Amino acid sequence: MKLRLELPERFPVDDIYAKLVALGSEKTDRDARQAVAALALLLINHIGDVDVIDEAIEIVQRLPSTDS
């Protein structure tokens, strides 16, 4: 697997998490969805490695349903 899943050192995870949540604040549902999608597209373009992106998508697809 090429996708890195370990926690990087000195990474401000709480700050990042807060920023991600803030992306959707005071936005309509459609704008919030756009924000997350745009973030994904920007990062995917930056990564530029289809294998890594496919591995990430596979993990996301396997996440359990939140409705259950």
Partner 1 sequence: MTDQRKDKQNPIRRGRRPLKLGNFVYPQYDYRPLADDEAQAVKRRPVVVVGAGMVGLTTAIDLARKGVRCVLIDDNDTVSAGSRSIAQARRTMEIWSRLGCAEPMREKGISWSRGHTHHRDDTVLSFTVFPEGGSRFPSFTSLAQYYVEHFLVERARTLDHLDIRWLNRLSGVRLNPDGVELTVETPDGTYRMQADWLVAADGAKSRVRSALGLAFEGDRLQDKFVIADVRCGADFPFERNYWFEPPFYDGNSVLRVPQSDSIWRIDWQIDPTADTDSELAPDLVRQRLERMLGEDTDFEIEWVSTYTSEHRLMDSFRHGRVFFAGDAAHQFSPFGGGRGGNSGIQDADNLAWKLAAVIQGRAAERLLDSYDAERRPIAERNLADSKKSTEFITPKSDHSWGFHDAVMNLAKVAPFAKSYVNTGRFAVWPVLENSPLSLPDSEGFADLARPGTPVLDCPLLSADGQPAWLADQIGDDFTVVTYGPTPAGGAALLSALSAAFPTRSISIGAAGASDEGHDFRDVDGAFARLYGAEPGTTYLFRPDQHVLARWRQFDSARIAVAVRRTLGLIGIGLNGIGLEQEKAR
- Residue 28 or 68: the one with the smaller Cβ distance to partner 1 is 28
Whether residue 8 contacts residue 16, with contact meaning beta carbons closer than 8 Å, is answered with no
- CA separation for the pair 18, 24 (Å, rounded): 11
- CA separation for the pair 49, 53 (Å, rounded): 6
N-term to C-term CA, the chain: 29
Considering only 5, 13, 26, 45, the residue that binds partner 1 (CB under 8 A) is: 45
Considering only 4, 10, 30, 62, the residue that binds partner 1 (CB under 8 A) is: 30
24 near partner 1, rule: CB under 8 A: no
CB of 34 to partner 1, least distance (A): 4
- Residue 13 or 60: the one with the smaller Cβ distance to partner 1 is 60
